[in-house]
Structure 1
Amino acid sequence: MGDSNTDTSTTVSETVAEEVSLFSMTDMVLFSLIAGFLTYWFLFRKKKDEIPEFTKIQPMDSSVKDTSFVEKMKKTGRNIIVFYGSQTGTAEEFANRLSKDAHRYGMRGMSADPEEYVLADLSHLPEIENSLTVFCMATYGEGDPTDNAQDFYDWLQETNVDLSGVKYALGGGFYHMARAVLASCL
């Protein structure tokens, strides 16, 4: 007799266990709220501000080489130019980053190799509203100009162009270039 009661209570408890749901009503409500929130967040979250893609402006055709960076800046609506003097590419990379980050301040920048442009146009830079020139120059050897900045350095030493209205910033380890730029702009 004892065995039949045990069998009956086991059968009843198994039946009750089968009827009990894995989730209670509270669990279902919480699950629905979380699923609804995730769906809402996925569909309506604020998209990140798009960062404009940076492309280095280079002449389209080598036979028709436009060497006026001021004209290019006017055509493309840019107001910051970052010239780089680089032997290994570090200053060029930094110049590219600086010109990309200009958008954070409501400006548009471009980086440029001084070998590719007529730098006498620096005197025309004040024609562009809120313009700025940044010189990111590295050194080579014992403080000498890099290969791509040598002509620029020589030009600064020999020029008589008035650069007094040019807004500029200097960066890098190029002491001689900094002195030449300062002498030309003052």
Structure 2
Amino acid sequence: MDAETPTRTEPMADEEESLFSNLDLFLFSLIVGLVIYWFMSRKKPEPIPEFKKLDTPAPTTRETSFIEKMKKTGKNIIVFYGSQTGTAEEFANRLSKDAQRYGMKGMAADPEEYDMGELSRLSDIKNSLAIFCMATYGEGDPTDNAQDFYDWLQENDDEDLSGLNYTVFALGNKTYEHYNAMGKYVDKRLEELGAKRIFDLGLGDDDGK
């Protein structure tokens, strides 16, 4: 049996070698065919469209100089308002518009939005005038939007407002203990800092009796 074994295994080895060779050839041909098909059918890459870069405007900074704004718009009267419920703001807007009747141009302004340290520069504008419509809130306190202005008046003893022409109109209610306290303080304090009062303090009474 040992002598017969080689005669039986040799044909099997040749058959396996032949089988693997044919399979390798088939797989190789299939892979080559797929590669060629892919290469021939491949679409040319479409060019990426170039988008024009939009020029985005730089964010505008809030104008904090009422002097520069007045110069740009040709205004010479500025009406600051300290308002909690909107009454003083409405009154300031009316006053600024009524200035046209007298050949002047006015603008209403929220003191919280501007640098009140520029009051000393108001004399740079010819025939300028600052009007303060100040309401009193709570126990004789400034309104929320006038708090910074109130603090500025208290803290700047060395401020020179000698070139400032001003008048104050206070808005309050005489039934309250601290009647028009904010308006009275602003009127007195501006004079102490050297500003020129051109009209006496006005006391508005919401009680109306």
Q: Same fold (TM over 0.5)?
A: yes
How much is the aligned-residue C-alpha RMSD, in angstroms?
1.5
Rounded to whole Å, the distance in 1 between the matches of 2:120 and 2:65 is 12
For the Cα contact (< 8 Å) 2:120–2:161, is it kept in 1? yes
Determine helix, strand or coil for the equivalent of 2:159. Answer: coil
The 1:115–1:62 alpha-carbon spacing in structure 2 relative to 1, beyond 3 Å, is farther
Matched, 1:177 2:186: yes
Unaligned regions of 5+ residues in structure 1, if any?
Answer: 1-60
Unaligned regions of 5+ residues in structure 2, if any?
Answer: 1-57, 171-179, 196-209
Which of 1 and 2 has higher RCO (CA within 8 Å, sep 6+)? 1
The 1:77–1:162 alpha-carbon spacing in structure 2 relative to 1, beyond 3 Å, is same
Correspondence 1:137-176 to 2 at 5 A:
137-159=134-156, 160-172=158-170, 173=180, 174-176=183-185
> What stretches of structure 1 move > 6 A for 4+ residues in a row?
none
- Higher helix residue share: 1
Rounded to whole Å, the distance in 2 between the matches of 1:63 and 1:180 is 35
For the Cα contact (< 8 Å) 2:82–2:135, is it kept in 1? yes
Residue identity (%): 65
TM-score by length of 1: 0.65
Larger Rg: 2
- Higher strand residue share: 2
Determine helix, strand or coil for the equivalent of 2:137. Answer: coil
Rounded to whole Å, the distance in 2 between the matches of 1:101 and 1:136 is 15
Specify the alignment match of 2:62 in structure 1. Answer: 65
- Please report how far the alpha carbon of residue 99 of structure 1 lies from its aligned counterpart in structure 2 after TM superposition: 0.1
